[in-house]
Structure 1
Amino acid sequence: MTDANISDLTVLIVEDEPLIAMSLEDALLDRGVTCLGPAGSVAVALEMIEAGGFDIALLDVNLRGERVDAVADRLAAIGIPFIFTTGHGADGLPDAHRARPVIGKPFRDLDITDALARHRPR
C-alpha cells in the first residue's frame, strides 16, 4: 500500500493509553492523515462521533475497564467503518462486531496504515 491511499483520511482515535495514542497519531500524521482524538473513554468517543468530521475510526476494545461496545454499535449504525486495536484477540471483541477488522497489539505502523488503506470508506 502507498501513503497516497490514506493521506486524505480523517481518523478518529479511540484509545485510553496515552503512549499508544501518541504513537498512532505520530504514525498517521507522518503519512498525511488528519487525526481526531484521542478519545480515552466511551463517553468522549460517543460525543466525538456525534460531532462527526471523520472517515474511519481505530477503536481500542477496553477503555479504562469499560468495553467499547456502545462506540462500535454507534459507528455501525451510522455507517462509519472502524478497526479494532486490541491485545485481547478476537475473544475480546463485542459479539455483534466479531467480523470487523482487528489489529493485534503490539502493532507496527505499517499494520495500521495497511489496515486503514484496506478498510477505508469507498
Structure 2
Amino acid sequence: MTQLTSRPTALVVETNYLVASVFEAPLVAAGYRVMIATNPEEAFELLDREDIRLALIDFRLQHGEPNGLVARLSRSGVPFIFCTAASADEVLEHFPDARVMAKPFSDEALLQAVTELVQTAGISANKPS
C-alpha cells in the first residue's frame, strides 16, 4: 500500500545503514518520504531520479570538493543539515553557513531541525509546476 504524504522527500546520506534507519523512522512517522544513500555516488543517483527536497548528510562523507555532494546539493537548491559526530566548529570551518546537528540526537530534535529547515527554506512537498 502506498502512503500519500504532504511532506517533502528527504535524502539521508549516512555510511552506516543502521544509523540511517535512526533518521528514517521518525521522519517516516511524521509523513516524510525518505531515501537513503550510504555514499555520495548513491546520493547522486537518487538526486538524478527522485524529487529530493532536503537532505541530512554525514559531514565525514565529504569536505567540499567542487564536484562533491554539498556542491551538488547547493547547485540543485536542496537545503541540507549536517548530522554528525564532528564538532560544529570543524563543520563550520569548512562550511561557514551550514546547519549542524550533533549526533546523537533525539527524534524530537531531529524533527524540530527538519521542520525549521522546511519552514525557513520554503520547501514544499512537490516541485512548483
Confirm or deny a common fold (TM above 0.5): yes
Determine the structure 2 residue equivalent to 1:11: 10
For 1:33, give the aligned amino acid.
Answer: Y
Using a 3 Å threshold, how does the CA distance of structure 1 residues 41 and 7 change in structure 2: closer, same or farther?
Answer: same
Return the match for 2:69 from 68, 71, 90. 71
Identity of aligned residues (%): 29
Separation (CA, whole Å) in 1 of partners of 2:116 and 2:57: 16
For 1:107, give the aligned amino acid.
Answer: F
Runs of 4+ aligned structure 1 residues displaced above 2 Å come to 90-98
How far does residue 94 in structure 1 lie from its aligned partner after superposition?
7.1
Counterparts of 1:1-122 in structure 2, within 5 Å, are 8-36=7-35, 38-63=36-61, 67=62, 69=64, 70-93=68-91, 95=93, 97-120=95-118, 121-122=121-122
**How much is the aligned-residue C-alpha RMSD, in angstroms?**
2.0
Using a 3 Å threshold, how does the CA distance of structure 1 residues 99 and 43 change in structure 2: closer, same or farther?
Answer: same
**Residue ranges of structure 1 left out of the alignment (5+ in a row):** 1-5
**Residue ranges of structure 2 left out of the alignment (5+ in a row):** 123-129
Secondary structure of the residue aligned to 1:80 is coil
Using a 3 Å threshold, how does the CA distance of structure 1 residues 7 and 60 change in structure 2: closer, same or farther?
Answer: farther
TM-score normalised by the chain length of structure 2: 0.78
Aligned length: 113
Secondary structure of the residue aligned to 1:13 is strand
Separation (CA, whole Å) in 2 of partners of 1:106 and 1:27: 14
Is the Cα–Cα contact under 8 Å of residues 81 and 119 in structure 1 kept in the other structure?
yes
TM-score normalised by the chain length of structure 1: 0.82
